[in-house]
Amino acid sequence: MNAASAAYVTARVNGEPCAWHFTGVTAIEHSLSLNLSSTAAQGADLINGARNQPDRVTLTVIETDTEHSPGWAARMLAAMAGLKRKRMLCGVVTSMGSYTDMLLTEITATQDEENQCGWSGSLTFTQYVASDGENAVKTNDNSSTRENTGFTGNLIQLTAETMNRLLESRL
């Protein structure tokens, strides 16, 4: 497939940028969740007990030698297994957006009678979140009160146009 496919994976291998395009992507599941603490204070403007969970993207793919050279599907499975085994940071590009700092955390692959020259399965990517405080949120974990973050400007209303502009600058 080409770059216009429904999803593909990028990574740097030996310092060189690489991209893996799949024979077919039949489903893409995006999981963007928030973990709520049972100790959250009621009536507070800011909920300190709410924490972003790492983003997860699951690609359901089909790989087959029919569309490519013999051994293609096996090489793709080996490449994905190598990304997982080496815990390499990846990018995942989907039609809904791009994700960075993703780790391939789970691979399922099935070879059956329908796809004898390949496999079908799922690849689950989970966002790597640094634990050294570099991505820390400025809130007090033991209180429902806000901490001063130094922001004194007026808040802007998020319109669809503003949201699109913010998303474009993030990607």
* Per-residue pLDDT tens over the stretch 101-130: 999 999 999 988 877 789 999 999 999 988
Q: According to the 3-state scheme, what is the secondary structure of the chain?
A: CCCCCCEEEEEEECCEEEEEECCEEEEEEEECCEEECCCCCCCCCCCCCEEECCCEEEEEEEEECCCCCCCHHHHHHHHHHHHHHCCCCEEEEECCEEEEEEEEEEEEEECCCCCCCEEEEEEEEEECCCCCCCCCCCCCCCCCCCCCCCCCCCCCCCCHHHHHHHHHHHC
| Domains recognised in the chain with CATH numbers | 7-170 (2.40.30)
* Per-residue pLDDT tens over the stretch 23-74: 999 999 999 988 877 665 565 555 667 788 899 999 999 998 887 888 899 9
Give the whole-angstrom CA distance, residue 135 versus residue 141: 15
pLDDT > 90: percent of the chain: 44
Residue 100 exposed, middle or buried by CB count within 10 Å (0-12, 13-18, 19+): middle
